[in-house]
Amino acid sequence: MAKMEVKTSLLDDMIGVGDMVLLEPLNEDSFINNLKKRFDHNEVYTYIGSVVISINPYRSLPIYTPEKVEEYRNRNFYELSPHIFALSDEAYRSLRDQDKDQCILITGESGAGKTEASKLVMSYVAAVCGKGAEVNQVKEQLLQSNPVLEAFGNAKTVRNDNSSRFGKYMDIEFDFKGDPLGGVISNYLLEKSRVVKQPRGERNFHIFYQILSGASEDFLCKLKLERDFSRYNYLGLDSAKVNGVDDAANFRTVRNAMQIVGFMDHETQSVFEVVAAVLKLGNIEFKPESRVNGLDESKIKDKNELKEICELTGIDQSVLERAFSFRTVEAKQEKVSTTLNVAQAYYARDALAKNLYSRLFSWLVTRINESIKAQTKVRKKVMGVLDIYGFEIFEDNSFEQFIINYCNEKLQQIFIELTLKEEQEEYIREGIEWTHIEYFNNAIICDLIENNQTGILAMLDEECLRPGTVTDDTFLEKLNQVCATHQHFESRMSKCSRFLNDTSLPHSCFRIQHYAGKVMYQVEGFVDKNNDLLYRDLSQAMWKASHSLIKALFPEGNPAKINLKRPPTAGSQFKASVATLMKNLQTKNPNYIRCIKPNDKKAAHIFNDALVCHQIRYLGLLENVRVRRAGYAFRQAYEPCLERYKMLCKQTWPHWRGPARAGVEVLFNELEIPEEEFSFGRSKIFIRNPRTLFKLEDLRKQRLEDLATLIEKIYRGWKCRTRFLLMKKSQIVIASWYRRYAQQKKYQKIKSSAIIVQSYIRGWKARKLLRELKHQKRCNEAATVIAAYWHGTQVRREYRKFFRANAGRKIYEFTLQRLMQKYFLEMKNKMPSLSPIDKNWPARPYLFLDSTHKELKRIFHLWRCKKYRGQFTDQQKLIYEEKLEASELFKDKKALYPASVGQPFQGAYLEISKNPKYKKLKDAVDEKIIIAEVVNKINRANGKATSRIFLLTKNNVLLADQKSGNIKSEVPLGDVTKVSMSSQNDGFFAVHLKEGSEAAGKGDFLLSSDHLIEMATKLYRTTLSQTKQKLNIEISDEFLVQFRQDKVCVKFIQGSQKNGNIPTCKRKNNRLLEVAVP
Ligand SMILES: Nc1ncnc2c1ncn2[C@@H]1O[C@H](COP(=O)(O)OP(=O)(O)O)[C@@H](O)[C@H]1O
Ligand SMILES: [Mg+2]
């Protein structure tokens, strides 16, 4: 959980305490332990309020990556663990956003990491400030000025392999947006004595070694140098090589950097020529030569080196040679030349070398400034980075150390002033009551050194300017007189006897109690170094050089500009420039980086408690903490404070509506923090005791755990709910899509069905139409065809005869006609007899004449019959008519009929007229007799037959007695209504009489005759012709007859053959008369 927490305060995951102000209890041990603990955990930075303590890790830590830059970018100072980037960011942002010029003051011993820190600050600012081609070039030039200056101004010392031997203050200039515009570098007092002499275990400036290792043979040759350190007197031999430093590679880096900064090729060349000349100067040696006046005069031992130097610099060899041998002193209008002895010659040589080099260095700074100068005239915001040499205490401390330590003293002074001032101002700003805190103020030491009348520097100047013999000893004497009473000044020779017996203090030394410790200075060389004399002959010789750079370095050599006034001494120059610097710094908002050296071995992981303790003491860090805590140990703006602790109180959690200050008040009341423990400033809460803060932190930690659980709970719930809602939403979406899809499908189905149905209907309609059209077309075609055929037929008919094709038909028809002809002719000869009953008929000759043949036979038969009939007489005609009538009436009805066909109807079977017996009868009948025949009359009562003569005349039917011929009954034909008979082969028949007629009195007649067919036929014909009525003839085997009043049924039955062919009649009862027929 803790790991996941985003840092919002340096209090998070803190090792020890990140801010010493919070240290509890506060004492030296706890202070060092805290630093050590943090150092062991790779936490090299610790705060005292806004001051950063930096402990040199002596190894590269992964805390300067671009990711780190991003992490610290735009974050509040106390938000993350202490880091130099936090300070840089704070400084840059207040510069950019609050328009306050800034200065970054980096202090500490030599090798404590000041230069590295300054570079880190610059690189951080470069990384976070504006981007763009132009800006990037400015940045690059600013950054690349470092390697150039380091090559010429840094050297390996016992303390530091890359010790800055000059003080550097760089102003980086920004525009209103915070984009860098350029910069100005000021350098302070290069340790030029190093050029000619280095302490044991130390080296000359890097550049000498770099040229010899890194330059090409060609280039070396041009510079008239050899690649051999031992060839040069100025290069200390014992530590020419430094571990882990690649001089050759660094040389390439320097040349590259020079190019980037903007050095022209010829300029670079000139610079290296000067460096070579300095190196070679060291090789010039002198030997004494006695002169006439008894004085020794120095002579150059080997002029070869001198010659090469002169070639290199374009100086007339004789001029230079002379300058090394003579010294011209001008006083007023006089010029006095004196010869130099060997020692003086060496002094002159070294002075020239030192001057050449230090002037070259100053020229380099000027030249770099020219390049990095801001191009615009708009108002600039400035961030100054001060990387000055650290406090130095060596075994032998000389003028340089004195100057350096003075500078550090001044810086401490400004630190004290500004820190306290700032602290006090804050309390006033915030309206908090403030009580003064005691602390050591080193103003008194500064005064010891810089006081215009009684200061050491003033005294030194006085000595230097004093006429008469001036030595370092006279200077010390003077010091002893003036400063003896000063509590920070110690000397054996002083009037005060305090140190008379102090054997640790040699007679030729004086000791100063610096804020950082006591330092013993060898007085030897103070005067010379302060004078910084270069014989005029030498500077004039240099000015005469044709080498333009060297000429420019020695403007005072120009005889036209001869200035008899002494140049200002080194001490006063330095004092002045330090004063300017301090003034400059005071106008800016200070940011402190206090570098601490953990060990003397330049080794990682070693933390020397004693060494650190010493530094802490003289840096006054504890006082710093105390001052900071005197009022209140911790302060924080209301907003971040409320933000950090608001979860500790219900009213302020989770949101406080209202001013942050009120929120914090509520919060502190709720937590029951004693009132004396805190104070409300205008914009900040001030917490007196760190314990209170830690209590708050503990509470916060506990509360955070609870909150984490709560948040986890809510988050889980939220997640589940979100997921659920999402799923629900998804489900709806899916469902709607599915529904849409289904509906679409359904719709498509319906649509396609509709289209199918539609298409079928359309198809059907179309086909119907097509059929109709086709039909119509066919009709048309048929009509056309018919017409064509008809026309064709007509035409063919018309033209047939003209065609041979028709010959066949003609032939056929002809042949047919011929055959018919032949047939008919043959038939003529084959005709059968004319008898109608002849059945013969010739055979058919051709099948196709079949019907014709039959028809012809029929026609012939009819014709033959007609012919036959034509032969008949009227008599015969009548007979046949009667026969025909009989056939119509009885054929197929009466079994007796076939037998009658062959019998001719004779009618008058009885020859009445001829038989006299019937004379009377003949008379009684005057009409023509049609039938005269004997019949049996059946007695109605018993069925017995009696013969009677039956007569039929034109109008009557008569029955007469056979014997007598007496008419027994006479019936007019009109009274005969019906004749009935059987269908059998018998001759019985009944004649029914009209009811009520005269004859009917006795009843119907029942008769039997052999000629029944003939009699019945003639009776029918006669009745028809007389009465115009058809006589009803009933043929039935059972019929009724009227006997007087009774109706008797006559029934024919099959009788036996005993009576032969004569049927027997029997009256069964009065209703039935049975006739048995054979
Ligand atoms: N922050 C750091 N990280 C790693 N090494 C450092 C750091 N600061 C200093 N050093 C090491 O210490 C050496 C001396 O530091 P430097 O800044 O030159 O000291 P100073 O300028 O105070 O004399 C550097 O050369 C480097 O090796
Ligand atoms: Mg340094």
What is the rounded CA–CA span in Å between residue 98 and residue 217? 55
Average pLDDT over residues 463-476: 85
What is the rounded CA–CA span in Å between residue 280 and residue 302? 12
pLDDT for 275 beyond 80: yes
For residue 629, what pLDDT is reported? 75
Which atom of ligand 1 is found nearest the CA of 116?
17
Nearest protein Cα to ligand 1, atom 20: 111
Q: Determine the residue of 59, 123, 160, 191 to mutate for testing ligand 1's pocket, defined as the one with the most ligand atoms within 8 A of the Cβ atom.
A: 160
Q: What is the pLDDT of residues 668-726, one digit of tens each?
A: 888 888 888 888 888 888 887 767 877 888 888 888 888 889 889 999 999 999 999 99
Half-sphere exposure at residue 715, Cβ-oriented, CA atoms within 13 angstroms: 6
Give the residue with greater pLDDT, 623 vs 210.
210
**pLDDT averaged over every residue in the chain:** 86
For residue 295, what pLDDT is reported? 72
For residue 635, what pLDDT is reported? 78
Give the other-Cβ count within 10 Å of 167's Cβ. Answer: 25
Report how far apart, in Å, the C-alpha atoms of 661 and of each of 31, 636, 639, 665, 690 are: 33, 11, 8, 6, 20
Give the residue with greater pLDDT, 777 vs 145.
145
Clarify whether 314 is annotated catalytic. no
For residue 497, what pLDDT is reported? 58
Report how far apart, in Å, the C-alpha atoms of 861 and of each of 663, 821, 825, 835, 866 are: 158, 21, 18, 9, 8
pLDDT for 559 beyond 70: yes
For residue 438, what pLDDT is reported? 66
From 150, 392, 970, 1014, active-site residue: 392
Q: Is 57 helix (H, G, I), strand (E, B) or coil?
A: coil
pTM of the model: 0.63
For residue 717, what pLDDT is reported? 93
For residue 5, what pLDDT is reported? 47
What is the rounded CA–CA span in Å between residue 893 and residue 437? 182
What is the rounded CA–CA span in Å between residue 597 and residue 115? 13
- Residues lining ligand 1, judged by CB closer than 6 Å? 56-61, 108, 110-116, 160-164, 390, 595
Q: Which position has the token pair 């064509």?
A: 788
If pLDDT is split at 50, 70 and 90, which confidence band does 269 have?
very high
For residue 643, what pLDDT is reported? 85
For residue 704, what pLDDT is reported? 85
If pLDDT is split at 50, 70 and 90, which confidence band does 41 have?
very high
From 115, 118, 193, 283, active-site residue: 115
Clarify whether 623 is annotated catalytic. no
Nearest protein Cα to ligand 1, atom 11: 58
Clarify whether 808 is annotated catalytic. no
What is the distance in A from the centroid of ligand 1 to the CA of 100? 29
pLDDT for 378 beyond 90: no
Q: What is the pLDDT of residues 709-719, one digit of tens each?
A: 988 999 999 99
Q: What is the pLDDT of residues 629-661, one digit of tens each?
A: 776 767 788 888 888 888 888 888 888 888 888
In the chain, pLDDT over 90 holds for what percent of residues? Answer: 30
Clarify whether 164 is annotated catalytic. yes
Structure token pair of residue 611: 């060494």
What is the distance in A from the centroid of ligand 2 to the CA of 298? 40
Average pLDDT over residues 87-116: 89
Clarify whether 390 is annotated catalytic. yes
- On the 0-12 / 13-18 / 19+ scale of CB atoms within 10 A, 271 is buried
108 alpha carbon, closest ligand: 1
What is the rounded CA–CA span in Å between residue 606 and residue 585? 35
Give the residue with greater pLDDT, 434 vs 379.
379
85 alpha carbon, closest ligand: 1
| Closest alpha carbon to 629 in 18, 36, 34, 26 | 26
Clarify whether 157 is annotated catalytic. no
* 1026 and 1012 Cβ atoms separated by less than 8 Å: no
Q: What is the pLDDT of residues 832-854, one digit of tens each?
A: 888 888 888 888 888 888 898 89
Q: What is the pLDDT of residues 783-815, one digit of tens each?
A: 888 888 888 888 877 877 777 767 788 888 898
If pLDDT is split at 50, 70 and 90, which confidence band does 278 have?
very high
117 alpha carbon, closest ligand: 1
Clarify whether 982 is annotated catalytic. no
For residue 234, what pLDDT is reported? 92
For residue 786, what pLDDT is reported? 85
Name the CA dihedral angle for 350, 353, 356, 359, rounded to a multiple of 10 degrees.
-60
For residue 352, what pLDDT is reported? 93
Q: Determine the residue of 52, 56, 169, 245 to mutate for testing ligand 1's pocket, defined as the one with the most ligand atoms within 8 A of the Cβ atom.
A: 56
* Length of the chain (residues): 1078
What is the distance in A from the centroid of ligand 2 to the CA of 283? 30
Which amino acid is located at 574 in the chain? F
In the chain, pLDDT over 70 holds for what percent of residues? Answer: 96
What is the rounded CA–CA span in Å between residue 1034 and residue 976? 13
From 111, 282, 620, 681, active-site residue: 111
Asked whether the CA dihedral 768, 774, 777, 781 is positive or negative, the reply is negative
From 46, 81, 157, 164, active-site residue: 164
For residue 1056, what pLDDT is reported? 64
Q: What is the pLDDT of residues 598-608, one digit of tens each?
A: 998 889 999 99
Q: What is the pLDDT of residues 231-242, one digit of tens each?
A: 999 997 776 788
What is the rounded CA–CA span in Å between residue 321 and residue 984? 208
Asked whether the CA dihedral 836, 842, 844, 849 is positive or negative, the reply is negative
Q: What is the pLDDT of residues 495-544, one digit of tens each?
A: 655 777 777 888 888 889 888 788 899 988 888 888 887 888 888 899 99
